[in-house]
Amino acid sequence: MLLQKERELVVEYGRRMSAGRLCTGTSGNISVYVPEQGLMAISPSGIGYFDTRPEDVVVTDLEARIVEGTRKPSSEWALHTLFYKRKPHIRAIVHTHSMYCATFAVLGQPLRAVHYAIADAGAAEVPCAPYFPFGTLELAEAAVETAGNSDAVLLGNHGLVACGRDIAGAYGLAVNMEYVAELQYRALCVGTPNVLNQEAMADVMERFQSYGQPDGKKTGY
């Protein structure tokens, strides 16, 4: 089976995403990209995460041509392929509809540096792209353009896209951004959050360069 390891990872992290309530039903999608082969493994459209098997995961190239698989790929295939084309350092994408990130996406507001964990996105703010219908090239282009240097971006009235150097990194980023979004929401319910300034965030991002174990894996801060 082509890209067997990557297809198994899509299944594993899809189940984690569902169990972690980062999505509901069949919403959201995941992909893993292998640049050496120019191929990505992407979750199938409309199949529950706990019903998805590795052979259901679709293998396509970055022009969305199906190379292997009998299922229809996620409707957000254009979003995934465009991010891989525009951000050459990334190898995986997790797209969620998590409650607090989606709340700020509905408000059309960015996630701000209310907690230093936002630096996991490689930026001091996670911006919000304007609304476009799901599964459209317009949405993909708006998301990539709005993201800029950030590895995470909110989609207006929709959800979150998190990119990583591997699937664990992309999933971890999605979890961390949901944490930041919940903190921001709760703080706004009480008063005015203290947003870290550019100097403080520059220091955090520098410290992140040496954080964690030599293999680059981290689970928290």
Residues with active-site annotation: 76
User: In this structure, are strands 152-155 and 128-129 parallel, antiparallel, or unpaired?
Assistant: parallel
CA distance 26 to 67: 23
CA distance 180 to 112: 8
* Placement of tokens 């490689």 in the chain: 122
CA distance 152 to 148: 9
CA distance 178 to 92: 18
Element (H, E) at 203: helix 198-208
Beta-carbon neighbour count of residue 207 at 10 Å?
12
